[in-house]
Copies of this chain bind each other. A is one copy, B any other.
Amino acid sequence: MDDVIARLERAERLEELQSIIEWLRDHYAVDDMVYHWVSSNGTQYGCGTYDPKWVARYLDQGYLRIDPVVLGCYQRFHPVDWKRLDWSSKAARALMSDAVAHGIGNQGYSIPIRGPNGQFALFTVSHTCDDETWKSFTELNRRDLILLAHYFNQTALRLEPGRTPEPTQALSPREVETMTLLAVGYSRAQVADTLSISEHTLRVYIESARFKLGALNTTHAVARAMARGLIVV
């Protein structure tokens, strides 16, 4: 563990994660181990030991949107055994049989991880064995897996291009208040009232914030302020 974490912290390119995860798979003697982002906007990243054919098929078929592992983890915080997810829908069962046909193990354990700006990733271990064996494996290694998930995500966030620099001009205190109140549903009039200023002054803040954030309208400005973590809602 110590070695792996140190390697993750030292890593300078995303590609290194691939060899680390392969090493981990062998170390824990499981069929597969996978780390991947989940995002709908297209910026995919993942590393792991799944058959590339399966990965391609998975993405191609849009399984991301029906996979109970993804959907289930998205609403949970704790690691989850695949057996405990909801496989009742037809699409989910079709996905499962397709997965089995591509050599994915019958057992799985996935850990959801979340970063800033709504970033979401999964760290998954999969294997073929009976329930008892799997239960003892996950109970024994759960903490290791949580930490690995954490460090994989940390490294991926650090190395992901476009995540780091972004000068992100800060907002003035009044602008922050304005954006925050707008984000919680206040109208301009209500915000102005809450801040005890004229509505016109408020508009100046909104426009100023919009300019700083490079936003096209108020909604855009609020969205950007949130995405950049400038306001806490």
Interface residue ranges, A against B (CB under 8 Å): 5, 38-41, 64-66, 70-71, 74-78, 91, 114-120, 143, 146-147, 150, 153-154, 157, 167-168, 173, 176-177, 180, 182-187, 215-220, 222-223, 226-229, 231-233
Contact = CB atoms under 8 A, between A and B. Distances in A.
B227 A233 contact: yes
A232 B62 CA distance: 12
Contact of A216 (B74, B119, B185, B232): B185
A220 to B, nearest CB: 4
Nearest to A86: B170
Contact of A70 (B77, B119, B232): B232
A94 B183 CA distance: 27
A70 to B, nearest CB: 7
Contact of A229 (B120, B173, B232): B120
13 contacts: A39-B232, A40-B176, A65-B232, A74-B116, A77-B116, A117-B233, A118-B118, A118-B226, A182-B223, A183-B219, A185-B219, A187-B217, A223-B233
Contacts of A222: 219, 222-223
